A and B are shown apart, each in its own frame.
Chain A
Amino acid sequence: METKKTSLYQLHQDSKAKFVEFAGYQMPIQYPEGIVEEHKFTRSHSGIFDVSHMGQLFIYGDDNLIEDLEKIFPLNLKNLNLNHSKYSFLMNDEAGIYDDLIITKIEKGFLIILNAACKENDFKILSRLLNNKYEMLLDNERSLIAIQGPKSVRILSDIINGVEDLSFMSGNWFFFQEQKIYITRSGYTGEDGFEISLPNNCAEGFTKKLIEKGAKLIGLGARDTLRLEAGLCLYGHELDKDKTPVEANLKWAISKDRVSKGNFIGSNIINKQLTDGVSKIRVGIKPEGRIIAREKTKIFNQSDLHIGEITSGTFGPSVNGPVAMGYVENEFSKKDTKIFLEVRGKKHPANICGLPFYKKSYVKGANK
């Protein structure tokens, strides 16, 4: 299969990006400044992320659509206000996660943002579950661009008036060069920021405007270190179809009143796990030294028993040290539990820690 290119491909190339194939797309992993500088620039200024490889699924329908989607997602969609978003999951009968996603109520339907590697399969699953009753469009004619970091609100509002009034996890339609664009205040870096869905033909022009105003293109490498420091899950690493939202420590994303009534796919297992607990659970892990424990690193307890595995691990530029997430047996998941990570045949001390690793510290009276 030929690798696909996003509508920003030429701009990435002109910006001297190093490319990597990701979920069938040629995506920029980094630019000449490198992952650490790109990461720090996002935290201190404003980074632009091309996330056009992600799926933008529009589903249109009447009140029956809300009913039907509530049989799929563990959310209270009846109470979801227009232009408001929720983080959720597409699950199988065992509550294993097919994908994690953001669902936004739009006029006459919903917009669901899906992971690139999962979107085609998600579309098939959802079409089947909804019996093809509704108009569904996995829109390849639109790009998706995220702008993240403390200067993003100023930069974006210079171009699109009114975005500064959006609150976190809400959005609206705006106009750019007479084209309709949908902007939500959201992101995946732990920073304030926005995600902009816009027609492919104006994506490059729009991105160049952001760059003119002082934002910089950031690659997938820094996107990974940023999300990991923010304690956010990455599908295929922390999440997959053998893990449930409760095991992933994401029970906050499941609407409480939906759990008691059940009646969504996987609800039996979710209910059982919330009542009885789980045997393994996702935790934050902080190595004591500088050693980096990467994905698949084995985790041991103080008695040298194998108790789990790392799912993501890297060097956190803002933390200035190694950070990781992984799954451990529930009894070893308490904060400050001492564990050992086997890296290159040696066991290195580490501790279970709270998430996120990096918390935004807002300074009162700071200039925006």
Chain B
Amino acid sequence: MSDVKFSKEHEWITLEGDIATIGITKHAAEMLGDIVFAELPEKGASVEKDGTAGVVESTKAASDVYTPISGEVVDTNQSIVDDPSKINEDPEGSAWFFKLKMKDKAELDSLMNKDEYDKFAKESAS
């Protein structure tokens, strides 16, 4: 498992070979509140960096989920669709959203590491 990277849209991404696993950050889950609905991209779909690749809804509002890199969707986490509260419980672990076959490794360069993201999240929250 490689290091975790983070996007400004509050997604996290890890890499195993050329397969990326993507989810929303703990900070995002906390900001959303109780998550009660999740929609994921279709398996086999192509997604573009910074494009929408899903939706989460809390009791308060709906938010798009963006993909931090481009690629083909090779797997989705049906368990968070069946029980969206799992996203609040373990957002950066078992409640991942989807896996992509990465298209362009260079896209990772613009993403933040954990320290950078923590600082970013703190600033954007205040």
| Chain A 289-333 per-residue mask, 1 if CB under 8 angstroms from chain B, else 0 | 011101000000000000000000011010000100000000000
Which of A29, A37, A315 is B37 in contact with, Cβ under 8 Å? A315
For residue B84, which residues in chain A have a CB less than 8 angstroms away from its CB? 290
State whether the Cβ of B59 lies closer than 8 Å to any Cβ in chain A.
yes
Contact B57 A292 (CB under 8 A): yes
Please tell me if the beta carbons of B37 and A34 are within 8 angstroms of each other in the complex. no
Contact call A292/B34, Cβ cutoff below 8 A: no
* Bound complex: CA A291 to CA B36 (Å): 9
CB nearest neighbor in B for A225: B59
Q: Output the least CB separation between B115 and chain A (Å).
A: 26
Interface of A is mostly: mixed
In the bound complex, residues from chain B placing their C-beta under 8 Å from that of A292 are 36-37, 57, 62
Decide: B57 and A221 in contact? CB cutoff 8 A.
no
| A344 at interface by CB-CB < 8 Å | yes
Is A35 among interface residues, defined by CB-CB distance under 8 A? yes
A20's nearest neighbour on chain B, judged by CB, is B60
Inter-chain CA distance A221–B62, complex, in Å, is 15
Bin the interface of chain A by size: 10 to 19
Q: Is the CB of B59 within 8 A of A315?
A: yes
A138 at the A/B interface (Cβ < 8 Å)?
Answer: no
Number of B residues near A (Cβ < 8 Å) is 15
* Inter-chain contact B59/A36, CB cutoff 8 Å: yes
**How far apart are the CA atoms of A313 and B15 in the complex, in Å?**
38
Q: A292-B57, A344-B55 are in contact. Are A315 and B36 (CB under 8 A)?
A: yes
Contact call B37/A36, Cβ cutoff below 8 A: no
- In the complex, the chain A residue whose C-beta lies closest to that of B81 is A290
Measured between beta carbons, the chain B residues less than 8 angstroms from A322 are 37
Beta-carbon contact of B62 and A30 below 8 Å: no
Q: Mark B72-110, 1 if CB is under 8 A from A, else 0.
A: 000000000100110000000000000000000000000
Query: Nearest A residue to B60 by beta-carbon distance?
Result: A221
Interface residues of A in 124-149 (CB under 8 A from B): none
Task: Say how far A237's CB is from chain B's closest CB, in angstroms.
Answer: 15
**Bound complex: CA A314 to CA B33 (Å):** 14
Q: Which B residues lie within 8 Å of A290 (CB)?
A: 36-37, 81, 84
A221 & B55 in contact (Cβ 8 Å cutoff): no
Is B37 touching A35 in the complex (CB atoms < 8 A)?
no
- Contact A34–B55 (Cβ < 8 Å): no
Contact A36 B62 (CB under 8 A): no
For residue A39, which residue of chain B has the nearest CB? B59
Query: Are A35 and B60 closer than 8 Å at their CB atoms?
Result: yes
Closest A residue, CB atoms, query B52: A344
With A292-B62, A294-B62 in contact, do A36 and B57 touch (Cβ < 8 Å)? no
* Contact partners of A225 in chain B: CB under 8 A: 59
Out of A29, A36, A294, A344, name the residue touching B34 (CB < 8 Å): A36
Chain B residue with Cβ nearest A36: B34
Does B36 lie within 8 Å of A36, measured CB to CB? Answer: yes
Shortest Cβ gap from B78 to chain A (Å)? 12
- Min CB distance, B92 to chain A, in Å? 19
Inter-chain contact A34/B57, CB cutoff 8 Å: no
Q: Which among A34, A291, A344 is the interface contact of B33 at CB below 8 angstroms?
A: A34
What are 16 contact pairs spanning A and B, CB under 8 A? A29-B60, A35-B33, A35-B34, A35-B60, A36-B34, A36-B59, A221-B59, A225-B59, A290-B84, A291-B37, A291-B39, A294-B61, A315-B36, A315-B37, A315-B57, A317-B59
Q: A34-B34, A291-B39 are in contact. List 5 more A-B contacts (CB 8 A).
A: A35-B34, A36-B34, A37-B34, A292-B36, A315-B57
